[in-house]
Structure 1
Amino acid sequence: MTTRTTRTLAAALSLTAALAISGCSSDSDAAEKPKITVSGAFMPEPVNDKMAGAFMIIKNDSKSADKLTAVTSQLSDDMQIHETKDQKMQQVPSMDVPPNGELKLVRGGNHIMFMGLKNKPKIGDKVTVELRFEKADPVKVELDVKERTYQAQHTASH
């Protein structure tokens, strides 16, 4: 090898090492995961064992945007994230949880669907779901099973 080739190779290796190190340091930023909290979680009592909905407010108390990417539950093997646009419901792969903001899952709007229930919960029961996010750690949530006509009072925080 010539001296020039050796210097070029050394410079390339130094750059690669610097990029690897800076990549590691940016992981420490990623370690500051979004802080997700959930309030007002409920499920109206299902009419049958075919499907049910879940509603809640998912709050992101961080400067980093996140996405709700999946939901799991012992009650159903087919959990879906649905958005409602122009009064039409459709399954989506994820939903944004904005930085320092909320994702509202409400009747007539975006929500979670349980398809093919393993049993039919009754009023007063609790159903556990696990919300999975792109960045934040999974969050376990207990849904209170409410009357079919129940309307959550999603008002501003106290």
Structure 2
Amino acid sequence: MTPAPADVLAAAAARGWSIGVAESLTGGLVVAALVSVPGASAVLRGGVVAYATDLKASLLGVDAALLAERGAVDPDVAAAMAGGVRRATGADVGLATTGVAGPDPQDGKAPGLVYVAVATPERATVRRLDLPGGRAAVRAGAADGVLSLALEVLARG
């Protein structure tokens, strides 16, 4: 089931939390979904599209050594991106997407391999997604995946 961006925003608002988004392969799809909701500005602080690997380090503070060792498609990179966007935007909650949209592998990782992360003041949660389909399907699945994870994390209370 595709999560409703309005539900994610409402869950954050119910906790008095704001949201920041760090995107790689989704290229702004997550922020676009959230800003499509009237009143999103009450919760959404902003987003960073760090498509190039070096921007993950310079804009989001992801450890350059981690990126050099493992590449951008890694669970620890996703968690660091989520934490980094919290700091960069001053948000309570950071959402992050990183993965391979295809059609070609990246750093030895197959198309469809995606990591999404949600960082809150309490913890960071990362989920691996293995998404089928072409580039557009993988990107859409990654956006849905991070919104689903956010809703789960925010509903934990």
TM-score by length of 2: 0.28
* Higher share of residues assigned strand: 1
* Higher share of residues assigned helix: 2
- Whose radius of gyration is greater, 1 or 2? 1
TM-score by length of 1: 0.28
